[in-house]
Amino acid sequence: MSARARTNQLLYQARLLLAMPVGEDEHADARRMALEESALAQLELALASLIEEIAHICNWPDMEWRQALLDPPRSVAEIERLRALREDGSSWLARLLWHIDRLHGEEGAAMRQRPSMTITTTGRAGLADDLHDALAGFATLLPALRETGVEW
């Protein structure tokens, strides 16, 4: 399977995970958290696969996706576009990377649902909302990145 096909597959799988019903039993919250963290892990793999697509076109040496994003071997438009999104704290990519960091931490990324009578004041979107935004961001960005990659 090519990196391009793998990226598409991972994004599709993340979308499927987010669409799965969680039910209304005593395990619903744990099931929702598991599905959200699974979708987040799929999105991390999709981001790694996308960066691998770009690295392959550029003939870069093998490197971890974070390293390629932080310190690419040379400047290319596709990576610079991702780096700009990463620097914009309100972008889907910046939020996705924040959640990925949390996923690898002790607490994890998914949070238990608060009872409906609790008032939240963070104003922060939930993990599922950010994951849907990341999927939409990927859908918008992929064709443009791949179009410039074909020009190589």
Output the six-digit token pair for 129.
């909302």
Q: What pTM, to 2 d.p., does this model score?
A: 0.89
pLDDT tens track for 60-118 = 989 999 999 999 999 999 999 999 999 999 999 999 999 999 999 999 998 877 655 44
Pairwise pLDDT comparison (67 vs 120), residue with the higher score: 67
Per-residue pLDDT at 123: 47
Work out the pLDDT band at 121, boundaries 50, 70, 90. Answer: very low
Signed CA dihedral, 86, 152, 145, 19: sign only: negative
